[in-house]
Amino acid sequence: MDRILQMQIFVRVAELGSFSRAAEQLGLPKTSVSEAVQQLEHSLGSRLLHRTTRRVELSSDGQQFLRRCSELLHELEELQQLFKPGDQQLNGVLRIDMPTGLAKNLVLPKLPAFLQQHPDLQLQLSSTDRRVDLIAEGFDAIVRVGALKDSSLIARPLGQMNQINCVSPAYIQRFGTPTRLDDLGRHQLVNYSQQLSGQKAEFEYQQGTEVKRIRMHSQITVNNTEAYSAACLAGLGLIQLPESGARPYLQSGQMIQVLADFNAPAMPVNLLYAHRKLMSRNLRVFSDWLSQLFQPGAAAAGKST
C-alpha cells in the first residue's frame, strides 16, 4: 500500500481512536485499515498504537509521529493545491455541522446553486443544536452561532445575525403587548438552554456598548431551535431570535415584533476547523460561499449554540 495512504489512514485512526470508525469514514474495509497501520509500524520499526478491546491509544512514539505526519500531509496537500487552477471543480466529500435553524433557513435554500457549480462535491451536512466533537466525529468544520468558548480549533468569522424580540398573537391575547422594559415583570419568556437546566431566563438587550439583562418568569425551557420557535407560536412566551429567521413568521402574522428599541446584541457566526497550517480547497471555497450569505441583505437564521 502507498506510504502516503498508510499515513493518512494512521492519522484518521489516531484522531478517532478506532479502526472501525476510521474504516467507515474512509470507505475502506476494517482489515485494510488495520493492515495499513501494521505495515506502517513494521516499516518504522516502532509500535504507534496500543490496541485494547475498547479503544485505540497512541504510544509515545505514536504521539510524536502523529504530529510530524499531520504536518507532512498538510504540507503535501498545500503543495498539490498550488498547481490546481483556481476555477477547478471541487470533488470529494465535505462534512460540515451547523445549527438546525441556520441550515434550514439560510444554507439549504441557497445550496442548490452552489452544488450545481460543483457537481462532483458530496456535502454531508449535519444540522443539530448539540455541540459535536469535530475530531471524534470526523467533521471537516463546524459552524457556530454565538460567543465562542475557549477552543483549540481555528475560527474563521463568517458574519453576524441581528436579533429581534417576538411574541405570537395568542400570547398577546393572553398577556397583552409589552411596550416598555418595565412591562417585562408581568410577562413570560421562553428559555433556551442546551442542558435544560442551570441557565436563568433572562431578557437581553444592548444599550450602547453594554449588554444588559432582565430576569423574567419562564414556565418552559427548550434545547433546540425548532422547539424554541414552536413555543413562541403556541403563546408560551417571548423569544429573541435572528431577524431573518423570524421574517416568514412576521410576514404570515404568526409572530409580532415587540420592544424594537431593546434588541439583543447581534450574534457572531464562525466556522471552526482543526488545522492551522491548511484549510482544504473544498472547505475554503465552501466557507467563502457561506461568508457571502451573511453579507448585508442576505437572509440568516439560527439560535446561539
Q: What residue ranges do the domains of the chain occupy?
A: 3-81, 92-161+267-293, 163-258
Average of per-residue pLDDT values in the chain: 87
Phi, psi values for residue 25, rounded to 5° = -70, -30
**Contact in structure between 40 and 10 (CB atoms under 8 Å):** yes
φ/ψ region of 134 (left if φ > 0, alpha if ψ in -120 to 50, else beta) reads alpha
CATH number of 92-161+267-293: 3.40.190.10
209-227 in b/e form (b: 16+ CB < 10 A) is: eeeeeeebebeebbebbeb
pTM over 0.75: no
CA atoms within 13 A on the CB side of 79: 6
User: What is the reported pLDDT for 86?
Assistant: 58
Q: For the chain, what percent of residues have pLDDT higher than 90?
A: 51
Q: Which of these, 264, 301, 291, 261, lies nearest to 161 by C-alpha position? A: 301
User: What is the reported pLDDT for 304?
Assistant: 41
**How far is 178 from 186, CA to CA, in rounded Å?**
9
Strands 141-145 and 92-98: parallel
DSSP state of 265: P
**How far is 256 from 87, CA to CA, in rounded Å?**
45
User: What is the reported pLDDT for 303?
Assistant: 44
Low-confidence ranges of the chain (pLDDT < 70): 1, 78-88, 150, 198, 275-278, 296-305
Query: Spelled out in words, what is the top-level CATH class assigned to the domain 3-81?
Result: mainly alpha
User: What is the reported pLDDT for 301?
Assistant: 42
Fold matches, 92-161+267-293 and 163-258:
yes
CA distances from residue 194 to 33, 128, 165, 197, 251 in whole angstroms, order as listed: 37, 11, 20, 8, 29
Task: Let me know if domain 163-258 sits in CATH 3.40.1710.10.
Answer: no
